[in-house]
């Protein structure tokens, strides 16, 4: 096991110390190492997107299937020429409207990219994050950085540096601690290579925002059914899952209360993920994670992965969770919960 270096680059840190940490991390990226860093969505595990050797280290550290493509992060539009063969008009519209920000466009891939980035596809996902640490790291490294979420494959994505350390300490070169991330769920992914834009993964930019910009957007069937050649991470495999099975419970809180009591009568230790509005009704659960407010879905997205990780720490036998509207960022929330529950809805 190697030693993972830790750098504190939060805004409260002395500017000279912060600058030195980012320069050192960027140098390690250039040397082919893997560095975890914060974005506005979740923490990413980055490596030089032009080096197969570097990219291989991401897959090894995460235990990630080799047919799961990676998203490439850039610091400015000039870097698009290193990662994209061309930029379709649909992609340019999205770029002009939402970059930097939590959205990824699927475009024709450049031959300069490491082959493992695209998982054998002729397309690649590219985004420009809005987090200052991410942008500075990419700029200082001088290369595009491929970065999936910085967690063990299949587990809840990390929204703070401690989550990364829990999963990957001793497996990666370093962690840049930029504090808690903002959005809390991964970027929206849109395929722009066809005649119509296709939503592959909902995220920080909502489907409604895309429809307003483009006049319409299709949903890929893989959002509800796995396919064999995913163009986007999170489409094929069980993701975002704690160790205990997760069940999503439709209906009112009374139905969820009944499910908890019935499972406890069977001698099971039950965890509940509930909203602020309903948390007080589940004080009898063996573990309780308060996820956010139903009146403000962004707080639920922000707290989602921390809640799932809390359940892991509680060592429960099963987990019940409320369900949410699929409007706005609710679509991304329910997408992640369905993946975490492996489609198990009561």
pLDDT at 65: 80
Least confident range from 45-54, 223-232, 247-256, 291-300: namely: 223-232
**30 carries a ligand binding annotation:** no
Strands across the sheet with 287-290, in order? 246-249, 318-322, 270-274, 287-290
Distance CA 246, CA 22 (A): 38
Strand partners, 265: none
- 293 carries a ligand binding annotation: no
Average confidence score pLDDT of the chain: 93
Query: For 232-258, what is the mean pLDDT?
Result: 81
Nearest alpha-carbon partner for 308 in 176, 142, 105, 149: 149
Q: What is the dihedral angle through the alpha carbons of 91, 195, 209, 153, rounded to the nearest 10 degrees?
A: -70
Work out the pLDDT band at 92, boundaries 50, 70, 90. very high
* 187 annotated to bind ligand: yes
Question: What is the spatial distance between Cα 29 and Cα 46, in angstroms, rounded to a whole number?
Answer: 8
> Has 64 been labeled as part of a binding site?
yes
Residues near 296 by Cβ (< 8 Å), separated by ≥ 6? none
Which neighbouring-strand residues pair with 43? 38
Q: Transcribe 8-64 into DSSP letters.
A: E--TTS-HHHHHHHHHHHHHHHHTT--EEEE-SSSEEEEEETT-HHHHHHHHHHHT-
**Distances in whole angstroms, Cα of residue 341 to Cα of each of 18, 156, 237, 245:** 39, 12, 12, 7
For residue 224, give every residue at least 6 positions away whose Cβ sits within 8 Å of its Cβ, in sequence order, or none.
none
Q: Is the pLDDT of residue 1 over 80?
A: no
123 is in an annotated binding site: yes
Burial class (CB in 10 A: 0-12, 13-18, 19+), 51: buried
Relative to beta strand 198-201, strand 188-191 is antiparallel
Is 139 assigned to a binding site?
Answer: no
Give the position of tokens 């962004």: 298
What pLDDT digit, counting tens, does each position of 39-84 carry? 999 999 999 999 999 999 999 999 988 778 999 999 999 999 999 9
Domains of the chain, CATH where assigned: 5-223 (3.90.870.10), 246-340 (3.40.50.11030)
Q: Which of 280, 250, 254 is nearest to 341 (CA)?
A: 250
The predicted model gives 239-259 an average pLDDT of 90
Omega within 30 of 0 (cis) for the link into 100:
yes
Q: pLDDT confidence of 231, banded at 50, 70, 90?
A: low
Say whether 149 counts as a known binding-site residue: yes
Find out whether 240 is annotated in a ligand binding site: yes
Other Cβ atoms closer than 10 A to 153: 18
Q: Given this model, what pLDDT does residue 228 score?
A: 42
Of 98-112, 168-182, 221-235, the poorest mean pLDDT is in 221-235
Q: Is 224 annotated as a binding residue?
A: no
CA distance 227 to 109: 20
Quote the pLDDT of residue 278.
Answer: 96
What stretches of 132-196 show up as alpha helix (H) in DSSP? 132-141, 161-168
Predicted model pTM: 0.94
- What is the number of other CB atoms lying within 10 angstroms of the CB of residue 212? 11
Does residue 250 surpass a pLDDT of 80? yes
237 marked ligand binding residue: no
Distance CA 167, CA 297 (A): 27
- DSSP 8-state symbol, 149: B
């Amino acid at each position: 096991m190697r030693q993972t270096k830790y750098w504190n680059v939060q805004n409260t840190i002395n500017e000279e110390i912060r600058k030195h940490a980012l320069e050192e991390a960027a140098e390690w990226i250039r040397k082919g190492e893997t560095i975890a860093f914060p974005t506005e969505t979740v923490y990413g595990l980055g490596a030089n997107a032009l080096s197969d050797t570097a990219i291989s280290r991401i897959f090894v550290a995460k235990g990630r299937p080799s047919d799961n493509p990676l998203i490439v992060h850039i610091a400015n539009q000039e870097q698009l020429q290193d990662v994209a063969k061309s930029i379709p008009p649909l992609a340019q519209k999205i770029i002009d409207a939402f970059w930097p920000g939590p959205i990824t466009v699927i475009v024709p891939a450049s031959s300069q990219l490491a082959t493992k980035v695209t998982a054998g596809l002729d397309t690649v996902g590219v985004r420009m994050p809005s987090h200052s640490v991410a942008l500075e790291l990419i700029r200082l490294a001088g290369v595009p950085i491929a970065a999936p979420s910085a967690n063990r494959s299949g587990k809840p994505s990390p929204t703070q540096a401690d989550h990364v350390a829990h999963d990957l300490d001793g497996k990666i070169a370093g962690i840049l601690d930029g504090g808690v991330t903002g959005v809390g769920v991964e970027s929206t992914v849109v395929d722009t290579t066809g005649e119509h834009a296709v939503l592959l993964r909902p995220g920080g930019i909502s489907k409604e925002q895309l429809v307003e910009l483009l006049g319409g957007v299709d949903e890929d069937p893989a959002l509800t059914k796995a396919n064999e050649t995913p163009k986007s991470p999170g489409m094929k495999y069980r993701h975002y899952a704690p160790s205990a099975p997760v069940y999503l419970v439709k209906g009112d809180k009374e139905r969820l209360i009944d499910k908890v009591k019935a499972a406890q009568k069977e001698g099971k230790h039950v965890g509940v993920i509930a909203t602020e509005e309903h948390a007080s009704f589940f004080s009898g659960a063996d573990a309780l994670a308060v996820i956010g407010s139903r009146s403000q879905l962004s707080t639920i997205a922000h707290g989602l992965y921390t809640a799932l990780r809390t359940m892991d720490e509680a060592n429960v036998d099963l987990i019940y969770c409320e369900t949410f509207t699929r409007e706005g960022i609710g679509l991304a929330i329910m997408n992640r919960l369905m993946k975490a529950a492996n489609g198990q809805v009561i």
